[in-house]
Amino acid sequence: MRVQAYLAFDGNCQEALNFYANLFDASINNRQTYEDKKIDVPSSYRKRLQHAELKGKGVSFMAYDAAPDTPINHGNQIHMSVDVDDRDEAESLFKKLSENGQVHHNFREREWGYFGRCTDHFGINWMVNSKI
């Protein structure tokens, strides 16, 4: 299992990652735009980042440009992201995290695997992923 931060941006994710990559002498990996995704977003969002990772010595986090259905406001720009190898374990973890909290995206199969997003009862945002 791996837990890391997931940062949300409002259209300037690439600019922010370029800044952080230079600052931390890190590289931007696994860069994906909304362009080829089967996600219903306006054409103005297609060139925005749907996912990217910043990795370097002592630094590792993920980031994206939030889609229109996830408006950015103070407090929701950071999500903790959990990658779990076992789908059943991931689903169980998601249920426990979302209990007495708020489910934003039900844990279910997506293009890249299984995914769910919630806010726990402490107000912390979580994304739980498991490969297919």
Question: pLDDT per residue over 75-115, tens digit each?
Answer: 778 899 999 999 999 999 999 999 999 999 999 999 889 99
Number of domains in the chain: 2
Could you tell me if 122 and 99 are in contact, meaning their C-beta atoms sit under 8 angstroms apart? Answer: no
Split at pLDDT 50, 70, 90, the class of 22 is very high
Residues 48 and 93 in one domain: no
- Give yes or no for a contact between 13 and 19, defined as CB atoms under 8 angstroms apart: no
Q: Determine the Cα angle at 62 with ends 42 and 76, to 5°.
A: 65
Question: How many Å separate Cα 80 from the centre of its chain?
Answer: 8
- Quote the pLDDT of residue 72: 86
Question: Does 109 lie in the same domain as 76?
Answer: no
Sign of the torsion angle spanned by Cα atoms 98, 96, 107, 49: positive
- State the residue range of the domain holding 97: 89-132
pLDDT score recorded for residue 69:
84
- Alpha-carbon distance 124 to 73, whole Å? 14
Q: Are residues 64 and 120 in the same domain?
A: no
Phi, psi (degrees; rounded to nearest 5) at 87:
-60, -45
Residues 105, 57 share a domain: no
Least confident of 4-8, 25-29, 74-78: 74-78
Report the number of secondary-structure helices (H) and strands (E) in the chain.
2, 8
